[in-house]
Amino acid sequence: MIPHLKVQRADAETARARLEREGLLHPDFRAQHDGDFVLWPLAGAAEGEIVQCKGRPARAIGRDYRDALSPELRKLAPRAFDMLGHVGILRLSDEAQPHVTAIAQALLESHANLRTVAVDSGVGGQWRVRNLAVVAGDDDLVVLHRENNLRFEVDLQQVFFSPRLAGERARIAALVRPGERMLDAFAGVGPFAITAARAGAQAVAIDGNPAAEKWALRNCEFNNLSSESFEFHTGLAEELVPRLGSFDRVVANHPTGSLAFIATGLAALAPGGVLHLYLLADRKAPELPAGVAEELSDFASVSGSRMVHPYSPGRELRVLDLLRKSS
């Protein structure tokens, strides 16, 4: 279920513009109509009447960029794409590759706020950086992204960033109690830690990618946080975490490395603290994917489990909330 903002049809466009400006419009879903009302899918906490309902998948909001293509190309061009700041990001099938220029140009021309179109051939390497090739428009992959009333700047060629986690960042921030100590162990440019710090946490962020710190500190400044509520350490989480004291909340968003981090993450929690663990799971897998139960032992219990978003056919990004027992 996805939270939606319910507004009168007459107010729908004003509400959409406001949500888009504040980075609260969910990029993976589209509007729904219910009598005299329009329901806008949300990627964060918004003011107004909120209703929970099944999301209607559709990445592109507005007109379909494929309308400008020939019927043959239209069949090959993907309907879905990501929009990150001024960059449109396409994933192309092998059949679509020879037509990349025409497809990218159609996307660029259909969205006035796009200046660049890039093709994404996946996340890779130790620092999970997206492999992007600019195929139309300006050769500029430094983006300014807005979500949850915050601004994040990132060079997509240097550091991982995903706009699809905006809803999760809002969820975690809503759980934060003022003054709690929060650790973001795989922080990238800091969106989880910064969103939590804005909600009142004392946030500590770690990332191994040497390029992450510069962007994280810049984003800290962009979002008016002082060094008292946000600190950043460059290094490997498994080495740094045991030296940083205990935390009320730990976020571990490193889906391909999260299993190996469970013991370290739980050991860093104060009794009653929570580890939010992001991992890839089979959509049909039970609540606890293989290997997790062994790591929990008597130390922790599962207080929540939900899909964040689909990842590939048959797999999903899942978050487990693991509660460290009090004694």
Ligand X SMILES: C[S@@+](CC[C@H](N)C(=O)[O-])C[C@H]1O[C@@H](n2cnc3c(N)ncnc32)[C@H](O)[C@@H]1O
> Where does this chain bind ligand X (CB under 6 A)?
126-128, 159-162, 165, 186-188, 191-192, 206-209, 212, 236-238, 253-254, 257
In whole angstroms, the minimum distance from the beta carbon of 37 to ligand X comes to 33
| Closer by beta carbon to ligand X, 16 or else 316 | 316
H/E run at residue 82: strand 82-84
Owner of token pair 């469970």: 262
In whole angstroms, the minimum distance from the beta carbon of 194 to ligand X comes to 10
| Closer by beta carbon to ligand X, 60 or else 154 | 154
| Closer by beta carbon to ligand X, 3 or else 167 | 167
In whole angstroms, the minimum distance from the beta carbon of 90 to ligand X comes to 20
- Give ∠ CA 255-257-289 in degrees, rounded to 5: 65
Nearest Cα to Cα of residue 227 among 209, 258, 250, 205: 205
Point out the residue whose Cβ comes nearest to ligand X: 188
In whole angstroms, the minimum distance from the beta carbon of 308 to ligand X comes to 11
| Closer by beta carbon to ligand X, 234 or else 305 | 234
Query: Cβ of 100: how many Cβ atoms within 10 Å?
Result: 17
Contacts 24+ apart (CB under 8 A), 140-146: 140/86, 140/87, 140/115, 140/116, 141/87, 141/116, 143/84, 143/85, 143/86, 143/87, 144/85, 144/86, 145/23, 145/84, 145/85, 146/21, 146/22, 146/23
| Closer by beta carbon to ligand X, 180 or else 207 | 207
H/E run at residue 22: none
In whole angstroms, the minimum distance from the beta carbon of 189 to ligand X comes to 6
